[in-house]
Structure 1
């Protein structure tokens, strides 16, 4: 017990909850083996508390059952029943659950020994299947005690003998069970059988030099001899037990045996012998106490237990500090997480606002191109009317309205299908050709490797450059010019080329008025800004370049390159 208590002290000092739980349970079992049920209950409860903290269900089930047993030993049946039921609910299998429920029901029927028999027998069979020798022994003891309540001493003795068969590896338990059999024989006035059992136990203890067992068996023999009305033999047994206890330093048993002897001598009126025993005991008391290892061990254990109490208080304070620290840490972590979530939300909101602003700016830039296109178109209609070309004006307005409807439908889109873009651009070029038919011809070619029905192109990026090519390049030619719009697929990229043989960039700038130069500059900036916004929003890496053809041929080439886009 002292060794287990020391181990418990170490584990408490280390604050190792698993070892603490195990050592609490070990110490509880030591108290149980020594017959101290109250102390056993105290330490089983502490073990249960530790196993609960560790969330070890199997260990909780085992200790809860042990707790129920010590409560049953103390006749605290209500608590025992409750804990047997809890142990059953925690059991790992149906067999263990049934065993615990049987014990709970057995205690509920404590007033009816006959009904208890079925529960005990059921447990014995279940425990045999589980091969739990210690619990089988306990179950047979329960059966024996139940049989005694039913006045069936024969079954009681048989049950004790069966219990002995399962307790072969526990010498102390075997001795206790044999003493119980002796008590049954004694209660039935079969003193010789009882004396025979105690005599054999005494002989075994002598051969093993087990002095404590020798003392107890001598005391038991004395009790049997008194009942058998053989006082001389009883006194001899008591004197032998007293002298042995005194020699071996067992003060408690020496005192107990002395008390029985003194009572006998007083009853017999032999005061002289009684006083002689007292004097001898007092004379040797100091030496007896000094040599009594049980007192030393008890004192040592009391000191250790005091240390355990102190360490438990320290552990409780540590646990409280750790709990407070953890609470603060959780609060701190929670606050940080909340701040991070808030930060992410703000960043996301800002990004969303920024993205929305870019989308609005993109739409604004797209719509900025429409007034100029509308203005030029209306000028064309006005020109047709002034020249009394009503048919051409009507045809132009019809085509223009169709084009404007298509442009309006797609005005909120950043990318449109290539097929629709080509269709819109052709309508636009048809309109311009109707107006300047003696100034240029045009051609649109689409690479056969490009799927015009699935590929996307940036919306309203190409048309302004077609307009520039016609209005600032081809319009000023003395001869008929040519405009070529090409869509090519090259290494996963779509290349849009707008090539004309007009007067070229240099000559065009010389002929422009200051207002036209401002407009052209704004048109190019608009295109660049829209391409920049599209790249930021969609990460498409769209590039744009305008260059003049080298002499002797005049004209301009506009190239817009972007990756093949099949989903938006």
Structure 2
């Protein structure tokens, strides 16, 4: 009795110990060695990407790791890593990736019967996508879960998804939809449709033997529940034979366990026990502690129901005696331990990444503040410079207007003297005619007084009116002619305002009126090399002789007039960048007189 009690106590301790180690190590019993290796490899890649702080790779590796867990049935871990992938894709603002991962997250939650969260995520995936078909697929899944209590309604959503997924050629999801249809059919107690759906799902498992085995076992279960044991056994035995052929020991152990379940349902316990013992022995040989425990539990349960306590105690003793050897040879536990270490490293790297991100965020905030401050200072500086420039331009414009208006008083004074002269000579008609022309001219000058440039036709019109006035007064002293190049369009071409009139006035008052004979004044507008050449030419007494005859006031006025012209041209060049040039020369040779030439670019727009 003491020995039996000791064994029972020891086995109780062992049975507690084994599940704890397995559970804490990411339930490796549910993985094949190949799958465990994939998970470890993906976890290593994730560690590297976390160490490099590459958000894009981190997101991808989280998703890959989650998919590995999902494929191996560890839905809790899959959900955990899908959520992390989703956070990373959200940071990267990758909507398409967010949509895909949100749907995968919903699947993991559905597998855990967490239907509320799954529904929300299916709906979220539907709202995120821009593809109408994808939206419909996700909403169908959400509605399917909402109708848990109505399998008939669920069938409609499943069928709709099968059609949509086929059109989209999403083979993996078509397989899942057919499995859902099979499960739905079982709820409706339609085993025939369930088997048909499982068989259709099998068509989409090429090159995926693990998924094919799962579906075949589901078909075998349906046959067994329908008391079609021969069909169930045939499927299970075929899977077993294939596993033995491929030396796939994990599948072989699980298949022996499945066979035992069918034999128990068939009421053939001897064969069931034989399959379980074979599974138990093979588990020990291959160092699979999880499957050894599972087989042992099934055997002990059977022996207890039959009251065969000695046999169950013998199994406990055997398990206990070989426990150390089993644990040391169990590669799945080693892989699980490796993954546990890697996962701890991942957690540490995630913490470091969070700290790095916080530091980067604070640094970026400071940088943005600094850049913003510098930007504001630059804007302020630019505003001040612009304001100063505007003031400078405005001052130049005011100066230009002032210089332009400076010429008017002398012209007005001369004009009024002419009127006075006509009146004193009792030439009332001439005085009236002169005043009428003068008023028209003054009105035109006032209208254009605030403009730096006016159209050529207006300038010619204004100058002609001025020359007409002077000709009326000095009729016997000169004739004049205004010539415009035929290639110029007077309405579209612009010229500087009030630049020419003072020089026409000088030609008349200081050159032509002193002649003993009738003189001639010519004003020409020519075009050459995209430039307008304005020439004012007279055959008066010339600059030298005129200077000798001038009074002191006349010399001051003429000097001021020339300076005025030069200053206005300089200001126009600064304001409009037109490169206007001006020169005045005295004619040489037989004919006396003066020539003024002003050159500026062809201007068709101001």
Same fold by TM-score greater than 0.5: yes
Match of 1:186 among 202, 224, 228: 224
Structure 1 residue 297, shift from structure 2 partner: 0.6
* Structure 1, 368-377 or 501-510: larger mean CA deviation: 501-510
Counterpart in the other structure of 2:598 = 560
Q: How far apart, in 2, do the equivalents of 1:36 and 1:516 lie?
A: 109
Matches within 5 A, 1:66-85: 66-85=104-123
Partner of 2:537: helix, strand, or coil? Answer: strand
Q: Contact 1:265–1:273 (CA<8 Å) still a contact in 2? A: yes
Figure out how many residues of one structure are paired with residues of the other and give that number.
566
Counterpart in the other structure of 2:103 = 65
Structure 1 residue 264, shift from structure 2 partner: 4.0
Which ranges of structure 1 fall in alignment gaps of 5 or more residues?
none
Structure 1 residue 304, shift from structure 2 partner: 0.9
Matches within 5 A, 1:101-180: 101-180=139-218
Residue 405 of structure 2 corresponds to residue 405 of structure 1: no
Structure 1 residue 227, shift from structure 2 partner: 4.2
Counterpart in the other structure of 1:17 = 55
Q: Contact 2:526–2:534 (CA<8 Å) still a contact in 1? A: no
Q: Contact 2:485–2:527 (CA<8 Å) still a contact in 1? A: no
Change (3 A) 1:494 1:263: closer
Q: How far apart, in 2, do the equivalents of 1:155 and 1:558 lie?
A: 109
Counterpart in the other structure of 2:517 = 480
The structure, 1 or 2, with the larger RCO (C-alpha pairs under 8 Å, 6+ apart) is 2
Compute the RMSD of aligned alpha carbons.
2.8
Q: Contact 1:429–1:442 (CA<8 Å) still a contact in 2? A: no
Q: Contact 1:483–1:498 (CA<8 Å) still a contact in 2? A: no
Counterpart in the other structure of 1:542 = 580
Counterpart in the other structure of 2:466 = 428
Change (3 A) 1:441 1:201: closer
Structure 1 residue 228, shift from structure 2 partner: 4.2
Counterpart in the other structure of 2:27 = none
Q: Contact 2:303–2:311 (CA<8 Å) still a contact in 1? A: yes
Residue 491 of structure 2 corresponds to residue 458 of structure 1: no
* Structure 1, 491-500 or 77-86: larger mean CA deviation: 491-500
Counterpart in the other structure of 1:414 = 452
Structure 1 residue 80, shift from structure 2 partner: 1.5
Q: How far apart, in 2, do the equivalents of 1:231 and 1:288 lie?
A: 27
Q: How far apart, in 2, do the equivalents of 1:201 and 1:124 lie?
A: 27
Q: How far apart, in 1, do the equivalents of 2:300 and 2:508 lie?
A: 139
Q: How far apart, in 2, do the equivalents of 1:397 and 1:159 lie?
A: 111
Q: How far apart, in 2, do the equivalents of 1:427 and 1:196 lie?
A: 120
Matches within 5 A, 1:230-245: 230-245=268-283
Match of 1:529 among 556, 567, 573: 567
Q: Contact 1:466–1:498 (CA<8 Å) still a contact in 2? A: yes
Q: Contact 2:456–2:490 (CA<8 Å) still a contact in 1? A: yes
Q: Contact 1:481–1:502 (CA<8 Å) still a contact in 2? A: no
Q: How far apart, in 1, do the equivalents of 2:542 and 2:120 lie?
A: 102
Change (3 A) 1:175 1:543: closer
* Structure 1, 392-401 or 360-369: larger mean CA deviation: 392-401
Counterpart in the other structure of 1:255 = 293
Structure 1 residue 564, shift from structure 2 partner: 3.5
Counterpart in the other structure of 1:34 = 72
Q: How far apart, in 2, do the equivalents of 1:219 and 1:495 lie?
A: 110
Q: How far apart, in 2, do the equivalents of 1:501 and 1:205 lie?
A: 123
Q: Contact 1:24–1:46 (CA<8 Å) still a contact in 2? A: yes
Q: How far apart, in 2, do the equivalents of 1:495 and 1:264 lie?
A: 120
Partner of 1:499: helix, strand, or coil? Answer: strand
Change (3 A) 1:298 1:504: same
* Structure 1, 367-376 or 420-429: larger mean CA deviation: 420-429
Counterpart in the other structure of 2:237 = 199
Structure 1 residue 3, shift from structure 2 partner: 1.3
How high is the TM-score relative to the length of structure 1? Answer: 0.90
Match of 1:282 among 320, 326, 335: 320
Q: How far apart, in 2, do the equivalents of 1:132 and 1:197 lie?
A: 27
Q: Contact 2:482–2:523 (CA<8 Å) still a contact in 1? A: yes
Q: Contact 1:198–1:221 (CA<8 Å) still a contact in 2? A: yes
Counterpart in the other structure of 2:406 = 368
Q: How far apart, in 2, do the equivalents of 1:189 and 1:135 lie?
A: 31
Match of 1:44 among 78, 82, 95: 82
Q: How far apart, in 2, do the equivalents of 1:92 and 1:424 lie?
A: 70
How high is the TM-score relative to the length of structure 2? Answer: 0.85
Structure 1 residue 108, shift from structure 2 partner: 1.6
Counterpart in the other structure of 1:358 = 396
Q: How far apart, in 1, do the equivalents of 2:205 and 2:384 lie?
A: 74
Q: How far apart, in 2, do the equivalents of 1:497 and 1:93 lie?
A: 75
Q: How far apart, in 2, do the equivalents of 1:95 and 1:157 lie?
A: 28
Match of 1:444 among 481, 485, 492: 481
Q: Contact 1:481–1:500 (CA<8 Å) still a contact in 2? A: no
Which deviations, in whole Å up to 9, do the C-alpha atoms of 1:526-558 show, x marking residues without a partner? 121122222222333222222222255433222
Partner of 2:499: helix, strand, or coil? Answer: coil
Which deviations, in whole Å up to 9, do the C-alpha atoms of 1:287-311 show, x marking residues without a partner? 2111110110110011111111122
Partner of 2:203: helix, strand, or coil? Answer: helix
* Structure 1, 429-438 or 46-55: larger mean CA deviation: 429-438
